[in-house]
């Protein structure tokens, strides 16, 4: 099992920069990159705010925060980010063609020993591995949103993945303070999202047929099943655009109309109402900037948006 000291994170969006910061706080040397200079800048600003905030709350010492900040850098190109990396974690859009393109580039600009992991929540690594010359070192390492909080990491060992690659990634997850779970074979949606998908399908079925409001469905799941938030509130958090992209990617793969995103998701996507990131999704998130406040419907501080 190879030792991992340097990690490259590709994609500095909400998932990417949080994964990068998790790794930096665990002592890894991290380089994070993104094609968007604006996203990269916002990611760095998040780190500059988050670490002092943890110190103020007593969750980190000044020294721990200082070390974590020194461990993470934000760089403008894939070549700079991947140079010298022992592990690369890709956290870009859920589009297979784009991922294959990025992995092909990573194969050329990262060291031969580097493990290339995708954070994809649905696309299995066997659909990406042959874009590289190292299929045994390509696998899924799936974090959950928000990555700084959620403990579980799904490691998926497809038939092409070397045992040493899976073992190394599991060890890295543990060093990051996560709880890794190993899937011994590839399956669409992995563990958590297969279970969550079943809940979401039922939630949309109930809502779109007028059985109950989305607010009451969320309340029932929170107070009846003990979930921290209901399916509609959770989709606002993770992004309705992500739900749309995942559904469309699956539909293009299978051709099965039942795999299309639910009509309610399509309507929100067309309107550009993606959830917290846009200030409006199934709920509204008003603050002084009209952007996400991050509150949960159970606490009464969000408002349902116009849905139909």
* 249 catalytic per annotation: no
CATH architecture of the domain with residue range 6-183:
3-Layer(aba) Sandwich (3.40)
Residues 128-182: pLDDT tens digits?
999 999 999 999 999 998 999 999 999 999 999 999 999 999 999 999 999 999 9
CA distance to 31, 124, 214, 225, per residue, from 79 (Å): 11, 24, 45, 46
Name the average pLDDT for the chain.
92
Q: Are the C-beta atoms of residues 188 and 124 closer than 8 Å to each other?
A: yes
User: In the prediction, which pLDDT does 291 show?
Assistant: 45
The answer to whether residues 137 and 115 touch, using CB atoms and an 8 Å cutoff, is yes
Marked catalytic residue, from 121, 140, 200, 305: 121
Per-residue H/E/C for 52-111: HHHHHCCCCCHHHHHHHHHHEEEECCHHHHHCCCCEEEECCCCCHHHHHHHHHHHHHHCC
- The least confident of 67-76, 232-241, 270-279, 297-306 is 297-306
pTM over 0.85: no
Say which of 94, 154, 186, 215 is annotated catalytic: 154
pLDDT for residue 94: 86
The whole-number average pLDDT for the span 184-190 is 94
Cα separation of 64 and 59, whole Å? 10
Nearest-angstrom CA–CA distance, 298 and 288 = 22
- Residue 201 has φ and ψ, to the nearest 5°, of -60, -45
CATH no. of 192-304: 1.10.1040.50
Catalytic residue selected from 2, 126, 145, 193: 193
pLDDT at 306: 52
Q: Is the peptide bond before 146 cis (omega within 30 degrees of 0)?
A: yes
Over 70: is that where the pLDDT of 297 sits?
A: no
pLDDT tens sequence across 160-175: 999 999 999 999 999 9
> Cα–Cα distance between 51 and 45 in angstroms, integer?
10
Edge-to-edge strand list for the sheet holding 87-90: 72-75, 29-33, 6-10, 87-90, 115-118, 138-142, 152-156, 179-183
Share of the chain above pLDDT 90, in %: 86
Q: Is 154 one of the annotated active-site residues of the chain?
A: yes
User: What was the pLDDT predicted at 287?
Assistant: 73
Contact 125, 138 (CB under 8 A): yes
Percent pLDDT > 70 in the chain is: 93
Give the alpha-carbon dihedral of 232, 236, 242, 245, to 10 degrees: 50
**pLDDT tens track for 20-75:** 999 999 999 999 999 999 999 999 999 999 999 999 999 999 999 999 999 999 99
Q: Which helix (H) or strand (E) holds 180?
A: strand 179-183
Residue ranges, comma separated, of all CATH 1.10.1040.50 domains in the chain are 192-304
140 is catalytic: no
Q: What is the DSSP letter of 176?
A: T
What pLDDT is attached to residue 2? 64
Residue 193 annotated among the catalytic residues of the structure: yes
Of 179, 93, 171, the C-alpha closest to 144 is 179
Query: According to the model, what pLDDT value does residue 176 have?
Result: 98
**Catalytic-labelled residue, pool 142, 165, 200, 249:** 142
The pLDDT value given to residue 249: 87
Instruction: Give which of 236, 242, 259 is closest to 307, Cα–Cα.
Output: 236
Q: What is the mean pLDDT of residues 272-290?
A: 85
Q: Please check the confidence at residue 11 and state whether its pLDDT lies above 60.
A: yes
pLDDT band of residue 304 (cuts 50, 70, 90) is low
**What one-character-per-residue DSSP string does 210-263 give?**
TSS-HHHHHHHHHHHH--SS-HHHHHHHH-HHHHHHHHHHHHHHH--GGGSPPH
**How high is the pLDDT of residue 122?**
87
What pLDDT is attached to residue 13? 94
Distance CA 174, CA 169 (A): 9
Span(s) in the chain for CATH 3.40.50.720: 6-183
Cα separation, 250 vs 157, whole angstroms? 20
Residue 306: CB atoms within 10 Å: 8
CA distances from 246 to 71, 123, 196, 197, 203 (A): 33, 9, 14, 11, 17
Shortest CA distance to 237 belongs to which of 267, 281, 196? Answer: 281
Model pLDDT, residue 299: 37
């Amino acid at each position: 099992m190879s030792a991992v000291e340097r990690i490259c994170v590709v994609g500095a969006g909400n998932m990417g920069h949080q994964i990068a910061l998790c790794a930096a706080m665990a002592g890894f040397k991290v380089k994070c990159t993104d094609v968007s200079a604006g996203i990269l800048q916002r990611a760095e600003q998040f780190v500059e705010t988050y670490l002092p905030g943890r110190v103020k709350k007593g969750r980190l010492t000044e020294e721990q925060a200082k070390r974590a900040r020194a461990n993470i850098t934000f760089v403008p190109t894939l070549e700079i980010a991947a140079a010298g990396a022992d592990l690369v974690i890709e956290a870009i859009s859920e589009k297979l063609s784009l991922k294959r393109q990025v992995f092909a580039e990573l194969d050329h600009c990262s060291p031969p020993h580097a493990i290339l992991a995708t954070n994809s929540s649905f696309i299995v690594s066997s659909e990406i591995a042959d874009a590289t010359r190292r299929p045994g070192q390509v696998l899924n390492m799936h974090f959950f949103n928000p990555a700084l909080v959620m403990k579980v990491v799904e490691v998926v060992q497809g038939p092409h993945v070397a045992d040493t690659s899976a073992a190394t990634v599991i060890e890295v997850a543990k060093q990051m303070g996560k709880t890794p779970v190993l899937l011994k074979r590839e399956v669409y949606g992995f563990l958590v999202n297969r279970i969550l998908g079943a809940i979401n399908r039922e939630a949309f079925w109930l809502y779109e047929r007028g059985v109950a409001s989305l607010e009451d469905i969320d309340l029932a799941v929170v107070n009846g099943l003990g979930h921290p938030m209901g399916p509609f509130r959770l989709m606002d958090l993770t992004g309705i655009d992500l739900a749309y992209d995942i559904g469309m990617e699956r539909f293009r793969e299978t051709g099965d109309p039942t795999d299309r995103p639910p009509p309610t998701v399509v309507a929100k996507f067309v309107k550009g109402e993606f959830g917290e990131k846009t200030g409006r999704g199934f709920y509204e998130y008003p603050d002084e900037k009209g952007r996400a406040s991050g509150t949960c419907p159970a606490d009464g501080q969000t408002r349902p948006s116009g849905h139909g």
